Amino acid sequence: ADEYISDIGSGLNYKRPKWLKLIKDIDANQIKEIYVTYEDRFIRFGFKFFQEFCAWHDCKIIVLNNEDTSPDKELVEDLISIIHVFSCRLYGLRRYKNKIKNDPNLKE
């Protein structure tokens, strides 16, 4: 491997800087192989599309821990991920609301 990238973040967040750089490098045909631990840790939805995108640019994705899961289990995992993302957004909105509420520069 020429480069090791550890990108901690949600597989649902497509605005991660390292993720965006990876997309650009693949699009420029600069990457030949990508090794990932689990496909759902790499990209939560659209893995097959991303695999095809990589193939268009002569890049191959190798999944190291390829667990066979049932469609039911995959659906449950996807729903849990979606709920997690929304709960994080709600928490962020509450924090933002409290910031505005406590800002002395803003009038009621």
pLDDT of residue 105: 78
Q: What is the predicted pLDDT for the residue at 14?
A: 65
Domain map (residue ranges) of the chain: 1-67, 69-108
Residue 30 confidence (pLDDT): 93
- pLDDT tens sequence across 17-64: 888 898 999 999 999 998 888 777 677 777 888 899 999 999 999 888
Q: Interior CA angle at 66 toward 7 and 43, to 5°?
A: 35
> What are φ and ψ of residue 35, in 5° steps?
-105, 125
Kindly report the pTM of this predicted structure.
0.54
Q: Which CATH number fits domain 1-67: 3.20.20.80, 2.170.190.11, 3.40.50.1390, 3.10.129.10?
A: 3.40.50.1390
